[in-house]
Structure formats: structure tokens, C-alpha cells
Amino acid sequence: MAAEVRQLQEGPAGRERAAGLPPARARQPNAVVGDWLGRASVPLAWGVLVLIFGLMRPATFPTVGTFGSIFGSEAVLVIVTLGLLIPLRAGDYDLSVAGTLTLSSMIIGRLNGGAGIDIWATVFMALAIGVLVGLANGFFVLVFRINPFIVTLGMGTLLLGITLLISNDQTYAGISIGLDNVVIVDRFLGMPLEFYYAVAVCVVVWWVFEHTTLGRRLLFVGSGREVARLSGVRVERMRVGSLVAAGFLAALAGIFFAGTSGAANPTAGADFLLPAYASAYLGGTTILPGRFNAWGTIIAAYFLVTGVTGLAILGIGSWVQDVFYGGALILAVAFSQLSRRGRSEEII
């Protein structure tokens, strides 16, 4: 059993060695080039996209303002995507992240903008709500053995309903300038600070995934729960922890959303769910193909945002966003399945 566990952790290379086969790259002379192209596919496509839009709209697209908007204002999408990446890595779905984001931003708007409660106290409350949502998701998934897809879908809808209730279906403005300053107003090297927060979250997730025992166990749980359980991994604890982390980061994204817009809209957060999943799955096809990974996710998110922004600058209607993100999600899942089959690594 220990040998089987070690082979699963090492992936296809470990199984090849155990079977007495030469490494795959030794058997395929072009494997190095193919591997590099697979890892760099989305960054290369992103560069081509920037070049095309820059040539088509040289006066409006390749500007500091455009790229400041792409990298700065979309940090919310990056953070919520990194949040749902954690349960995906463990083999679970979390469809409640958009509801958590929306409720978190409304707590800021309702309590700070509407009632005048100290901004940092409301920030703490919003983060606590995110943790509680993750714990509730974990409770129903593990205690009642309900599919996380169903639980988190219901939880997300419930949270959106609660948001409408506490907001009276109104948008709350007047959020403290202190939050606005540390999120969108203050800049470094021309970029809003929230861009650097998103990169910092990405670095933390990457470090945990790739350089800690916790990250390896998460991948182990997502690859085969029964084998992980037999090897001594506390599968239930890992799954609950991943859902709590997703809730926390979704709440953090809601705080940044409130700081970016200076207001809390009771329905705006729902628009992040589809782009977040499209970014997560597309990110799983690059950098580390066949595996959900942090850097692939952040690159994929900005690639998709660049595409939507460029098409909008070309004058294409607002329908393009849903078509672009929906099509990207379908293609990303298809490519991730092909990558999984080719590398014998589970991504779903």
C-alpha cells in the first residue's frame, strides 16, 4: 500500500519507474517541446490577443489606462477564483463563492455605508461570515453526505436571498474612504493596490499547493480519496478546510469589491461565478497542465478579462461577455479532460 501511495503522489513518472519503463520523455524525442508548448499555451495566446487588439485599436487598447483597468479592477475576480481553486484541488465544487462575495460586500455597505459602523469592524464581520459559510458547507457535505455541488448551489442561492433581505433590494453607497484608499485609490507603479493583494494571495496559494505537505495532501485527496484515507490522510478535515478557505477568500473578494466600487449592490456579485470557473479550468490547462494551479489561474483570469475588454473596445455589444466566458469554460473543461487523459492526472 505504501508503494501505491508513493506512485500516486509521484504521478505517471512514478508508475513508469515502478513498471520498469523508461521515462516518457526518453521515449518521445519531441516531448520536451510539446510539454513546453502545453505549459505556455495560455500565456502565448494572451500575448497574441494583446498584439491583435493593439494593432486593431492602437490609440485606445495599448494604453496605461486600459491595462490599469484590466490588472486593477479585476483583482476581485482573481481572488474569488483562487478561493474556489482550493476545493477544486481537493475534488470538490463550491458554487457558493459568488453568494459569499455578494453578502460580504453588502455587510460592508449596510453596516458601514448605511449605519456608520467602523469600516474595519465590518471588514472583520465580513470575513467571519465567509468562514461560517465554509463551515456550513462542510457540515452538510460531510455529515449528511450530500454532493457538494448541490449543497453549495443551494447555499449560494440562500446567501443571495439573505443579501436581498438585509439590503431591502437597495444599493448602499457611502462606504468609508479608508477602504477605498487601500483598495483602489492608492497606487504603486501605476497599479491599484488591490492588484498586488491579488498577486500576494496567488503567491500564498501557490506556495501551499506546491511546497507544503498540506498542498500535496489536497492533491492526494482530489486524486483518490479512498487511497488517501487508507494512507492516513484525514480526508474529511481536508475537505472542510478547503471549503472554509474558499469562503474566507470569497469574503475577502467581496471586501475588495466594495472598496473598488465604493458601494454594495445586492446582485452584482453573481456575475463572478461563471468567469471564476472559466478561469480556474482554463488555468488548469497551462503552467502545470492537468492540475489546478495558482499561476495558471491568474494568467487565465487576466487572459479572459483582456479578451472581453478588447472586444468591448472594438464596439461589440455587452452580450460578448457571457458568450466569451461561457465558451471559454466549455473549451477549458474539454482541454483539461484531454490533458488529464494524456497525463493520467485527475483535474475534476
The per-residue pLDDT for range 291-301, each reduced to its tens digit, is 899 999 999 99
d(CA 315, CA 136): 44
pLDDT at residue number 216: 92
Give the predicted TM-score (pTM) of the model: 0.85
Please compute the mean of the pLDDT values over residues 55-69 and round it to a whole number: 83
pLDDT reading at 23 higher than 80: no
Contacts of 144 (CB under 8 A, 6+ apart): none
pLDDT at residue number 340: 56
Judged by phi (left if over 0) then psi (alpha if -120 to 50, else beta), residue 115 lies in: alpha
Judge whether 9 lies within some domain.
Answer: no
pLDDT digits (tens, 9 = 90+) for 189-246: 878 899 999 999 999 999 999 999 999 999 999 988 888 888 888 999 999 999 999 9
pLDDT at residue number 69: 79
pLDDT at residue number 28: 56
Cell of 114: 448605511
Cell of 264: 454594495
Judge whether 19 lies within some domain.
Answer: no
- CATH number of the domain encompassing residue 298: 1.10.3470
Residue 137: exposure state from Cβ atoms within 10 A (0-12, 13-18, ≥19): buried
d(CA 47, CA 33): 19
Judge whether 17 lies within some domain.
Answer: no
Please compute the mean of the pLDDT values over residues 108-112 and round it to a whole number: 93
pLDDT at residue number 341: 58
* Residue 233: half-sphere exposure toward Cβ, Cα within 13 Å: 26
286 and 39 Cβ atoms separated by less than 8 Å: yes
pLDDT at residue number 337: 64
pLDDT at residue number 29: 52
Judge whether 1 lies within some domain.
Answer: no
Nearest CA among 195, 255, 250 for reference residue 73: 195
Q: What is the mean pLDDT of the chain?
A: 84
Cell of 329: 469554460
Phi then psi dihedrals of residue 290, to 5 deg: 90, 5
Judge whether 236 lies within some domain.
Answer: yes
264 pairs with which residues across the strands?
Answer: 172
Cell of 204: 500564498
Please compute the mean of the pLDDT values over residues 12-30 and round it to a whole number: 48
Judge whether 57 lies within some domain.
Answer: yes
Judge whether 28 lies within some domain.
Answer: no
Nearest CA among 244, 230, 238 for reference residue 209: 238
Judge whether 8 lies within some domain.
Answer: no
pLDDT reading at 36 higher than 80: no
pLDDT reading at 12 higher than 60: no
pLDDT at residue number 58: 87
pLDDT reading at 343 higher than 70: no
Contacts of 171 (CB under 8 A, 6+ apart): 109, 263, 264, 265, 266
pLDDT at residue number 174: 85
pLDDT at residue number 331: 76
CA distances 32 to 16, 27, 28, 231, Å, are 17, 11, 8, 33
226 pairs with which residues across the strands?
Answer: none
Cell of 79: 481572488
Nearest CA among 242, 346, 327 for reference residue 289: 346
Neighbours of 33 (CB within 10 A): 10
**Element housing 286 (H / E):** none
Residues of the chain with pLDDT > 90, as a percent, come to 45
Lowest mean pLDDT among 8-22, 210-224, 255-269: 8-22
172 pairs with which residues across the strands?
Answer: 264
pLDDT at residue number 131: 97
Question: What's the total number of domains in the chain?
Answer: 1
Choose the most confident range, by mean pLDDT, from 59-73, 148-162, 220-234, 319-333.
Answer: 148-162
pLDDT at residue number 37: 66
pLDDT digits (tens, 9 = 90+) for 121-142: 999 999 999 999 999 999 999 9
Q: Which domain holds residue 209?
A: 40-343
Q: Which has more confidence, 333 or 116?
A: 116
pLDDT reading at 1 higher than 70: no
| DSSP β-ladder status, 187-188 and 191-192 | antiparallel
Neighbours of 115 (CB within 10 A): 10
Number of H helices, E strands in the chain: 18, 2
Lowest mean pLDDT among 31-45, 204-218, 240-254, 330-344: 330-344
Please compute the mean of the pLDDT values over residues 153-172 and round it to a whole number: 93
